[in-house]
Structure 1
Amino acid sequence: MLKVFNLLIIGLFFMSSDPQTGFKEKQKTYSRVRTAYSEKESSLKKELEAKGFEFSKINKIFIRALKKEMDLEVWIQKSDGKYHLFKTYKFCSFSGILGPKMKQGDLQIPEGVYTIDRFNPWSNFYLSLGVSYPNKADRINSPYKSKGGDIFIHGNCVTIGCIPITDEFIKEFYVLCVESKNKGHEIPVHIFPFRMNFDLKTIPSYSDYAEGAEKLWPNLQPIFKDFDEKKTLSKISIDEKGMYVLN
């Protein structure tokens, strides 16, 4: 009976343990991830320290992409609970036009609220991280049967709807994301058409933009402004009409 009790205690211990424990170790079994750590960890530590961060204390990070500016921002949460900008990577190339992705093969980079849902340590583009497109909003708002998918932030400098930042910078970016994921955190990714800090009514026409932009952009703007003002991430849900709702 005592043996059974002890086994139950051990089982409960493992059930309550962080489900991501060992994630970094597993990732580092892949040669490209080991190379990324070998080449970038030391310089990342110095750069983080110079900007008031600590490598060992990386917890929650937030990724914000701005398509027109071709900026991929990495924000890191500090002990004050607010996110602080660590670094901006530039898109190496761009496909499609401003506006949401609606279907397979349209070459569009999605716009909306996503998460990193896959780590690919053996990508065709060196290293890559999957973006959770299509989400509920995308599935509701697209009239097309095939919405597309397999959207990644990756290395190299080619794209048909993804965000490439070169092999050198994907090494840094991948290491930062592994460090956060290893502590059990989800990594949010918000993709905007541009910095949404102006009156959208000044846009004379939506005819130059992708299908769906006129509906989506006014829905995304409050999310952009909310983070810009607070530097915290509010809870965001998606209603049955495919609209983002700030909670």
Structure 2
Amino acid sequence: MALDDLSKSAPQIPAKLLAEMSKKGMKPESPVLVRIFKQESELEIWKTDGTGRYALLKTYPMCRWSGKLGPKMKNGDRQAPEGFYHVSRGMLNPKSQYYVSFNLGYPNKLESALGYTGEALMVHGACSSSGCYGLTDQGVGEIYAVVSKALSSGQVRFQVQAYPYHMTPGNMAIHKDDGNLPFWGTLKEGYDAFELTKQQPKVSVCGRRFVFNTEFQGGDPSDPLAACPATATPSDPQLVAKIAAEKRRVEAALAESRASTMTAYVDGGMHPSFRSLLKKDGADKLAARISSIKYPVSRPEAALADPFVGVAKRSGAGTVSDSGR
């Protein structure tokens, strides 16, 4: 499909959201970045403002995601991806069976090298998931319009940061006994870099992990499984110090935590606002309220069994400190 055809088919940015952009010093054509949080069942849209840094535009509740906290590793495991992804214009679908959608780009370079399998993992409309992130038609339509405008205005691709939860020391401590904690520790490095600078982190892969904001001798590493080559330039010492301070906060929280919270997974999660509607009105009415296509809510019984009940109250609030303590 030609780019002109895509722009004609795509939803438009609503006037209310345009007004919010203007209020925050953002332009519709300015670059965009997406963050996803499973435990909180939320998707954030960030755009650059007049300072050239990213600022939060809007947070959208997610109606459905499947699997559990942790990365997707194989086709059919129902896991929604976690990691860093980059979405170009050709990965947008204005004629999705779930209203509109965009492909996350799973598997990324690291996941492919590790032998992870799966395809067509999307952010889309409808309250249904078998490895995707599902939102309301209205929500995904707004997101689609915002990212489409940025991509048609010069941004080559936008970054998606998909996390198990907000990467606070409190949340890390709650999940201290999870086998994915080492992997989440590398995700937190990228999370911290963005939180502290409000700039999109440069993502490289080597040593079987993500590496952020690093320039290497000979260019970016080509083999994700090989040891990382020597760096070409020193990293920003102030940023390094702040990230190191945050790492110490995490280590202290892990040491102080007596026991990990074990979540009772059935299958994935749902934002509390939608879970309340599901309890009140049932799956059919929720499906009709979420999407014009009335696609059935996936595994509604599992959606009612909140695996994170009580977790938010114990996770600790706040963002990464920029004080360098």
- Displacement of 1:202 in angstroms is 5.8
Match of 1:162 in 2: 132
Whole-angstrom CA distance in 1 between matches of 2:140 and 2:163: 20
Whole-angstrom CA distance in 2 between matches of 1:97 and 1:225: 23
- In structure 2, relative to structure 1, the CA distance for the partners of 1:191 and 1:83 (3 Å cut) is same
Match of 2:300 in 1: none
Structure 1 position 77 matched with structure 2 position 51 = no
- Displacement of 1:201 in angstroms is 5.7
Instruction: After superposition, give the CA deviation of every residue in 1:84-135 in whole Å (9 maximum; x if it has no partner).
Output: 0000011111210000000001111111010124010110100001111101
Whole-angstrom CA distance in 1 between matches of 2:134 and 2:107: 19
Whole-angstrom CA distance in 1 between matches of 2:109 and 2:60: 28
Structure 1 position 92 matched with structure 2 position 59 = no
Identity %: 30
Q: Which runs of 5 or more residues in structure 1 are unaligned?
A: 1-21, 208-212
Note the aligned Cα RMSD (angstroms). 1.8
Conserved in 2, the CA contact under 8 Å of 1:138 and 1:242? no
Higher relative contact order (CA 8 A, sep 6+): 1
- Displacement of 1:234 in angstroms is 2.4
Q: Which runs of 5 or more residues in structure 2 are unaligned?
A: 215-325
Conserved in 2, the CA contact under 8 Å of 1:76 and 1:86? yes
Whole-angstrom CA distance in 1 between matches of 2:32 and 2:18: 16
SS of the residue 1:187 aligns to? strand
Structure 1 residue ranges (4+ consecutive) displaced by more than 6 angstroms after TM superposition: none
Equivalences for 1:1-247 in 2 at 5 Å? 23=3, 25-30=4-9, 33=10, 36-37=11-12, 40-55=13-28, 58-117=29-88, 118-142=91-115, 147-185=117-155, 186-198=157-169, 200=172, 203-206=175-178, 213-239=180-206, 241-246=207-212, 247=214
Q: Which amino acid aligns with 1:244?
A: F
Using the size of structure 1 for normalisation, the TM-score is 0.78
- Displacement of 1:71 in angstroms is 1.1
Instruction: After superposition, give the CA deviation of every residue in 1:14-48 in whole Å (9 maximum; x if it has no partner).
Output: xxxxxxxx84x331343xx2xx22xx432322232
Whole-angstrom CA distance in 1 between matches of 2:208 and 2:105: 16
Q: Which amino acid aligns with 2:14?
A: E
Pairs aligned (count): 208
Whole-angstrom CA distance in 1 between matches of 2:20 and 2:100: 21
Whole-angstrom CA distance in 1 between matches of 2:83 and 2:189: 12
